[in-house]
Amino acid sequence: MRISWNWLKKYIDTELTPQQAAEILTSTGLEVESTEVFEPIKGMLTGVVVGHVLECAKHPDADRLSICKVDLGDGDPVQIVCGAPNVDAGQKVMVATVGTTLHMTDGGSVVIKKSKIRGVESMGMICAEDELGLGLSHDGIMVLDADATIGTTASNFLGLKGDHILEIGLTPNRNDAMGHIGVARDLVAAIRYRTGGAMELKWPSVEEFAKDGDGVAVKVEVADPFACPRYAGVTLANVKVGPSPSWLQEALITIGLKPISNVVDVTNFVQHELGQPLHAFDADKLKGGSIVVRKARSNEPFITLDGTDRRLNEQDLVIADAEVPICIAGVYGGTASGVSDNTQRVFLESAYFDPTTIRRAARRHGLSTDASFRCERGVDPDRTVYALKRAALLLKEVAGARVVSEVVDLDARPKIDHMIDLRFAACDALTGIRIPHDRILEVLELLDIEVVRRDPEGVLLNAPGYRADVLRPADVIEEVLRIHGFDQVPLPERLMCPPVLSEALTLESMSQRCSEHLAARGFREIMTPSLTNGERAEKGGATELVRLANPLSAELDVLRPTLLSGALQAMAHNINRQQRDLRFFEQGRIYSTGKKGAAETDTLALSITGRRWRERWRSADRKVELADAKEEVEALLERMGINALAGWTSMDHPLYTNAFTLQLNGRAAGVLGEVTKAQGKLHDVSQPVFYTELYTTVLLELCRKQRISFSVLSKFPTVRRDLSLLLNAEVKFEELRQTAFKAERKLLRDVDLFDVYEGDKLPSGKKSYAISLLLQDTDKTLTDDVVEKAMGRIREALLIAGAKVRS
């Protein structure tokens, strides 16, 4: 929200700078995100002064140029070459002196320099409107009134006023600060409390408001008092619609609003002054001469001011005349009753609408306006009539309006005061400091919080209507502390921080973490139906199917025994659309029958197919392999902290070739393999697919048993040794890895496979593995002797396991 410093100072007398005020406001909870200088004309015409043309003669070498002697009021006249056709001796003109930067209306800028024009020296420039950024005219120079004082700066002569804009990041609960008055109120409260000064908030007076004569008044009816608890209006006549005076236009431009007309500008001005939205209707356009506040009819047509034809909802609150809606209440006006240049009678509206009703209507229609911003947060219901009178008086001033009706004020609010019982001890406990009771009462008075009753232990309070967020003792304590100053709470010598307790791991939270991890590794989540085709499942080798007693379709007659079918269908759908490089995951349940009846298992499935990496000129193209699927599983287990428990055992499976069972701490936790070509063909997938199913209940139980421990990083280096092994073809790397760790438990840190060879250079039924082993001692640097002894134990164990160490 933009707050003008010059505008704000109309309500307070202060010598503070904008920066000092910003610091105070931020300390009270109205965070000033930025303070920027506002210039009605960029550069404020610095270096431009009023000059007097003493002499004007034709240039000897150019018919269209004149040589002028100009008095700038600071000494000897200067010589300026001017090309304007209307320049003449005796004129008062605007002169840009040497060194001045002019910012023109077309967005360009120029620096005035000492120069020679056709051989004649020129010490400045006599300016036209567009060169000063004052207009678009370039027909000639600006000629000023004869009484203009020579040497006066252009900014002073033109009455240009710079300003500072405070950009406030208003939180949703601070509906009291949605106007300049509200911000000034907080500033006054903080300054008076902290300095003891006698500053007062100056409210604009409405005492002169009175009916000016008789006229035809607009009739008002509120059909939905819940959605509109208070509605006020007044009828004005003899309204002369036209441009606003300069002070009103300048105020609106400063905060980023475009002046439209004096009537509309007044409603915008009061809205940003008091935080109370207003609306002006052309009273002569109101059918039946009446206003009805009601809910819209279903699909009722309405054209808003932006020209959009909308269909209303029966939950929308509208301002209507006797026949049709003319405004979405608190959100946006309509074209049918808007003020135009021909308007003479105006009905001025000021209301308090139910914030929830307004917020829903604004979201429903995708509208966000200054009015909805305020109404959906809740305006001050006690200032409804005050704002109306303020706007009416301004319209009398700037549009010649006459008040021809009494103020209509329909107030259906329940007369219930919300009492808050504040105990002083609670204030001390929550703030952590002891604020004297009299100082607490001083803050309450400054913030218009009424003290209904006081006793030695506390006070009974009634919060003002404009503070809809002050409902509990804690809210009042926050108000006291923000005016007292959060920075006045001293830091203790020792800060006691409670331990950070993580929430218990649940199936849902673990699933969320798995999703985040897999998404970060390039997987996309899929969701497939729980029902599948039984005949197809049986062809895939499923036997313990859970069948539906009354299936709606023969194609969907069993509960899925695996997530594979859905994954293959999703892959076929994407492959048929030229998306061949796929990485999917799904979390769901699979179903089976057994001796104890039907059972369901929470499962996480990963499936990959296509290329390993996206096509790049720097990387070789490679298809995914079973090892890539295994790598993803191990990365996931590593993220869970249970990879050290993992082991892989080969198995036979009807759905996969080269299948493996994942064992975690001796428990079956999943299956991994390449989908058979027959199964892929069954689902119209011809390219290789690698698939993993993990049992999330088992993963959850093991994760809950894991304990996070801390160990200091070793200061000592690792030692790497490589071994080349000749093995039987059926030996798996996992077996070698476990064998090495069992042989050297203390120093061995990692075992990795970096080369595999199978070919005619080896005996039949043999293969060659090249593995690396990392060793490290956490207490000292390893010596060659210690390393060799450790490697000797590992070689001996590998030899017993059937591996021949080649090097």
Q: Residue 501: pLDDT band by 50, 70, 90 thresholds? A: low
Q: Please list, residue by residue across 243-258, b when 16 or more beta carbons sit within 10 angstroms of its beta carbon and e when fewer do.
A: ebeeebbbbbebbebe
Among the ranges given (74-83, 309-318, 386-395, 614-623), the one the predictor scored with the smallest mean pLDDT? 614-623
Q: Residue 493: pLDDT band by 50, 70, 90 thresholds? A: confident
Q: What is the mean pLDDT of residues 408-423?
A: 90
Residues 175 and 379: their CA atoms lie apart, in Å, by: 6
pLDDT of the residue at 613 = 80
Q: What is the mean pLDDT of residues 299-328?
A: 93
pLDDT of the residue at 800 = 87
Residues 585 and 574: their CA atoms lie apart, in Å, by: 14
pTM: 0.62
Q: Residue 500: pLDDT band by 50, 70, 90 thresholds? A: low
pLDDT of the residue at 585 = 96
Q: What whole-number percentage of the chain has pLDDT above 70?
A: 99
Residues 675 and 562: their CA atoms lie apart, in Å, by: 13
Does 107 score more than 80 pLDDT? no
Residues 293 and 158: their CA atoms lie apart, in Å, by: 47
Tens of pLDDT, residue by residue over 118-164, are 999 999 999 998 888 887 778 899 999 999 999 999 999 998 888 99
- Average pLDDT value over all residues in the chain: 91
Q: What is the mean pLDDT of residues 427-451?
A: 93
Side-chain half-sphere exposure of 432, counting CA atoms within 13 A: 9
Q: Which helix (H) or strand (E) holds 652?
A: strand 646-653
Residues 381 and 370: their CA atoms lie apart, in Å, by: 18
Residues 660 and 639: their CA atoms lie apart, in Å, by: 21
Q: Residue 612: pLDDT band by 50, 70, 90 thresholds? A: confident
Return the amino acid letter for 304: T
Does 515 score more than 90 pLDDT? yes
Q: Kindly write down the DSSP assignment for every residue of 366-400, as one continuous string.
A: T---HHHHHHTT---GGGHHHHHHHHHHHHHHHH-
Among the ranges given (53-57, 121-125, 498-502, 589-593), the one the predictor scored with the smallest mean pLDDT? 498-502
Tens of pLDDT, residue by residue over 563-584, are 999 999 999 999 999 999 999 9
pLDDT of the residue at 160 = 87
Q: What is the mean pLDDT of residues 792-807?
A: 87
pLDDT of the residue at 502 = 67
Q: Residue 461: pLDDT band by 50, 70, 90 thresholds? A: very high
Q: Residue 41: pLDDT band by 50, 70, 90 thresholds? A: confident
Beta strands in 729-803 (DSSP E): 748-757, 766-775
Closest CA to 668 of 653, 680, 682: 653
Sign of CA pseudo-dihedral 542, 546, 549, 555: negative
pLDDT of the residue at 114 = 93
Tens of pLDDT, residue by residue over 592-607, are 988 888 899 999 999 9
pLDDT of the residue at 192 = 93
Q: Residue 743: pLDDT band by 50, 70, 90 thresholds? A: very high
Q: Which helix (H) or strand (E) holds 627?
A: helix 626-640
Beta strands in 301-449 (DSSP E): 301-303, 309-311, 317-320, 325-328, 332-333, 346-352, 402-403, 408-411, 419-423
Question: When comparing pLDDT for 620 and 612, which is higher?
Answer: 612
pLDDT of the residue at 476 = 94
Q: What is the mean pLDDT of residues 399-407?
A: 95
Q: Kindly write down the DSSP assignment for every residue of 506-532, as one continuous string.
A: -HHHHHHHHHHHHHHTT-EE----SEE
| Residue pair 142/127 in contact by the 8 Å Cβ criterion | yes
| Residue pair 751/737 in contact by the 8 Å Cβ criterion | yes
| Residue pair 176/61 in contact by the 8 Å Cβ criterion | no
